[in-house]
Amino acid sequence: MTLDRAAQTVYTMWLREMIRFSRSKSRIIGALATPLFFLVILGTGFSSAFQVRGGGTFDKGYLAPGLIGMSVLFASLMGGVSIIWDREFGFLKEILIAPVSRFFVSLGKAIGGVTTAMIQGILIMIIAWLIGIHYVSFWGVLAGIAVMFISGIGFIGLGIAIASKIESHEGFQMVMSFLTMPLVLLSGAFFPISNLPAWLKILVYLNPLTYGVEALRYCLLGNSTIPVWQSIIVLVIFSIAMITLGGKLFGKMRA
């Protein structure tokens, strides 16, 4: 397969995901509603009900990186559902018998999915800024967008791997429900991870979303519990592993 054909395959699958996303207004609204609800209502509730150690009130800006990470997680994992839709409508069969590499097909789907995830994450970032959350710098915001891309690639690779093994929407939704809430709750999105019990710290540090949230927190707010270089290394390793796994399982899938 030539480089030009590989690039064309990736671009075609990316464009298809973009067109599908632009036509799904309810998907966009639903993806933004949950993080916005947490940011406005939960953040306000925490600010009025709790005091941080050493005095002062809870800063709802602390929640912003976690909610951006949660939005990217949801959008990336759900990107795998497009494979199930394509299987049901017969499009997947046409793609799998075409003279193109299945890996580049899955790569195009992954880039398309992570683009939609980044759009949603950036929208949450903008909304948080509009309601009064301050970021450390413009360059920090750009670095945060790069972190969204890296973590999004990893989670959409995981979504593609799962969708390649599951044939029904119901089964996929059940697995997603099983994965998403533990990943979010164990990521430090809502609470600091520095003073957790030892057994809980183990689960938190095994969670790839933790490193995405911590890297975003450093880029946007200027502080994090985990050194940012360590978070980036873990995210890169996770993303390479998941996109490779997703590509291999997609390549073995039957239409």
Q: How far apart are CA 208 and CA 229, in angstroms?
A: 14
What are the two backbone dihedrals, phi and then psi, of residue 128, each rounded to the nearest 5 degrees? -60, -40
Tally of CB atoms within 10 A around 23: 8
Q: Are 117 and 156 spatial neighbours (Cβ–Cβ below 8 Å)?
A: yes
Q: For residue 144, name the pLDDT band (cuts at 50, 70, 90).
A: very high
Distance CA 26, CA 9 (A): 28
pLDDT tens track for 43-98: 666 655 555 555 555 566 778 888 888 888 888 887 777 777 777 666 666 666 66
pLDDT band, residue 252 (cuts 50/70/90)? confident
For the segment 14-21, the average pLDDT, to the nearest whole number, is: 80
Give the pTM.
0.85
pLDDT tens column, 149-196 = 999 999 998 888 888 887 777 777 788 878 888 898 888 888 888 888
Dump the DSSP string for 81-148.
HHHHHHHHTTHHHHHHTSSS-HHHHHHHHHHHHHHHHHHHHHHHHHHHHHTTPPPS-HHHHHHHHHHH
Nearest Cα residue to 211 out of 196, 193, 197 = 193
Separation of alpha carbons 80 and 100, rounded Å = 20
Residues forming beta bridges with residue 57, ordered by sequence position: 51
Sign of torsion, CA 31 240 164 178? negative
Give yes or no for a contact between 210 and 225, defined as CB atoms under 8 angstroms apart.
no
How far apart CA 125 and CA 101 sit, in angstroms, is: 36
Q: Per-residue confidence at 23, pLDDT binned at 50, 70, 90?
A: confident
